[in-house]
Amino acid sequence: MFLDMPRFTLMLSLLMTAAWAGGCSSSSQAVTAPSPTKCSVTVAATPTSFQAGGGSGTLSITTSRDCEWSATTNIPWIQLGDANTGQGGATLSFTVARNADPAARKGSITIASQQIELSQDAAQCVLTVTPPAGVIGAVGGPGTHTVTASSPQCSWTARSEANWMSILDGAQGTGNGQVRYQAQRNSGPARNGTLTIAGQAIVITQPSGCAYTLQPGSAEIGENGEAGRVTVTTSPGCMWTAASSAPWIAITEPNGSGNGAFAFSVAANAIGVPARTGTVTLADQTFRINQAAGPPCVYMLSGTIQLFPAVGAPWGFSVATGAACTWTASPSAPWITITGPATGSGNGNVAFSVGPNPPGNPGRAGTITVGSSSFTVIQNPM
């Protein structure tokens, strides 16, 4: 039995349309996106607390493999690793920078809708004072020390432990700064004082400011010598020592402290020694001693006259005088010749010879002069 062709074509078209519609409905259901419940994210951080020095940590992210996530932080001291986005479970690294401030701090990392809280301990303040010690002149004056702090939040104080120093500026500060102090004039021995700056003991050394006065300032001493005493005026605690520059000035009681005196003695000036000057020094002071000349030189000869035969002969005499006295033996005639030392100092001997008296020549006489003394030579005729 055969169907009518137009009717058959209509039925076939309806069947194909139905089949196509059913296929489209099945494809649409296969691409449905994961539900919000399926993309829940769980995050755990290890560790969550850090010491002041900082460190590194990890974030363990748990979620479905089809779920995407991103990690963010607006805290500058928390740095995320290179991979701060991903899909599915993952491990993310992060670092915490050193905390230089003396205050604890907190920050967070956000992943999906979760915030991971991190905390970091406060740092200890490190304070450095330069220079670590100081020297101020005896006249006093201002001085400065610099404080360098590890953080602008670090606070410190400064005070003087010595009554001769006072803080001018910088008694307290925060972060880097300076401390200025004033030292008084030192009129006594060298001393040390302490400034406590940022908890550190800064020792300030001041040299001696001792001043000395001598009374009298000089002395005039006769040829026979003399003893005397000099008064020393200075501040308490100021040490002093008197020292002689000449062997003929002896010092007794040469050392002292504060007000006092030293004694001296001057030896007699020897025969023939000219006027002389010596000093005694005490610190920067000088005590001058002027002594008159010793007695004038006197020359004593062992003989004063000698008779010689016409043929002549050698002879000699001794000279006695002071050690500082110089002398010269000078004959008055060419027939008297000095054969021994013609000059000397102090005691000595003079040797000479008398030449022959020519025939027909009468007796003759001459002298040898030593200082103010003379030795007479008489020679018989041939």
3-24: average pLDDT: 38
For residues 306-322, average pLDDT: 96
Average pLDDT over residues 30-41: 60
How many other CB atoms are found less than 10 A from the CB of residue 156?
21
Whole-angstrom Cα distance, residue 338 to residue 336? 7
Give the pLDDT confidence of 194-247 residue by residue, as tens digits.
999 999 999 999 999 999 999 999 999 999 999 999 999 999 999 999 999 999
Task: Determine the pLDDT at residue 382.
Answer: 83
DSSP secondary structure of 77-123: TEEE-S--EEESSEEEEEEE----SSS-EEEEEEETTEEEEEEEPPP
- Give the pLDDT band of residue 37 (cuts 50, 70, 90): low
Architecture of domain 213-291: Sandwich (2.60)
Report how far residue 65's alpha carbon sits from residue 32's, in angstroms, rounded to the nearest whole number: 16
Q: Taking residues 105-121, report their average pLDDT.
A: 93
pLDDT, residue 7, reads 43
Reply yes or no on whether the pLDDT at 66 is more than 50. Answer: yes
CATH code reported for the domain at 42-120: 2.60.40.10
User: Mind spelling out the 3-state secondary structure of 111-148?
Assistant: ECCEEEEEEECCCCCCEEEECCEEECCCCCEEEEEEEE
Residue 17's pLDDT is what? 37
Residue with more model confidence, 365 or 372: 365
Whether a cis peptide bond, with omega within 30° of 0, leads into 207 is no
User: What's the predicted TM-score (pTM) here?
Assistant: 0.61
Distance of CA 99 to the CA centre of its chain: 37
At the top level of CATH, the class of 300-379 is mainly beta
What's the pLDDT score for residue 112? 85
Please name which of 196, 201, 192, 189 lies closest in space to residue 164, comparing C-alpha atoms: 192
Span 93-118, average pLDDT: 94
- Asked whether the domain spanning 300-379 has the same topology as the one spanning 127-206, the reply is yes
Separation between Cα atoms, residue 51 and residue 42, nearest integer Å: 26
Sequence spans of domains, the chain? 42-120, 127-206, 213-291, 300-379
Burial tier of 192 (Cβ tally within 10 Å: 0-12, 13-18, 19+): exposed
Is the distance from CB of 57 to CB of 93 less than 8 angstroms? Answer: yes
Is residue 151 classed exposed, middle or buried when 0-12, 13-18 and 19+ CB atoms within 10 A define those classes? buried
For range 177-196, the mean pLDDT: 97
**123-147 confidence digits (pLDDT tens):** 999 999 999 999 999 999 999 999 9
* pLDDT reading at 48 higher than 70: yes
Contact by Cβ (8 Å): 293, 224: no
Could you tell me what percent of the chain has a pLDDT over 70? 90
Protein fold of 127-206: Immunoglobulin-like (2.60.40)
